[in-house]
Amino acid sequence: MKCVICRHGETQPGRVTVTLERGGATLVFKEVPAQVCENCGEAYIDEAVTKQLLEAAQAAQETGVQVEIRAFVAA
Ligand SMILES: [Zn+2]
């Protein structure tokens, strides 16, 4: 699809690193599948993937994690 941020690039399937902060927890997910703009690098992440990330962040926060880095694994 065409990038809505820069309006020039086309997005390509790729992998990105996503950082989420919830409460005192910082979660870093690597290898998250996304559509990445070839021009500006903006990453577009699926709603389903976003939901999984938020749920994982929530779970981590509840267990008292402060910083965690993990590879994203699709459910
Ligand atoms: Zn772009």
Which residue in 11, 34, 24, 30 sits closest to 61, CA to CA? 24
User: What token pair was written down for 67?
Assistant: 């910083």
Q: What is the pLDDT of residues 35-61, one digit of tens each?
A: 999 999 999 999 999 999 999 999 998
C-alpha torsion angle, residues 34, 35, 41, 43 (rounded to 10): -50
What is the reported pLDDT for 74? 80
What is the reported pLDDT for 22? 87
Cβ neighbours of residue 41 under 8 Å, at least 6 residues apart?
none
Residues with CB under 5 A from ligand 1 (ion): 3, 5-6, 9, 37, 39-40, 42
Q: What is the pLDDT of residues 12-31, one digit of tens each?
A: 999 999 999 988 899 999 99
Distance 72 CA to ligand 1 centre (A): 24
Length in residues, the chain: 75
Q: d(Cα 16, Cα 4) in Å, to the nearest integer?
A: 18
What is the reported pLDDT for 43? 96
4 pLDDT tier (thresholds 50, 70, 90): very high
Asked if CATH classification 3.30.70.1520 holds for the domain at 11-71, the reply, yes or no, is no
Domain ranges within the chain, ordered by starting residue: 11-71
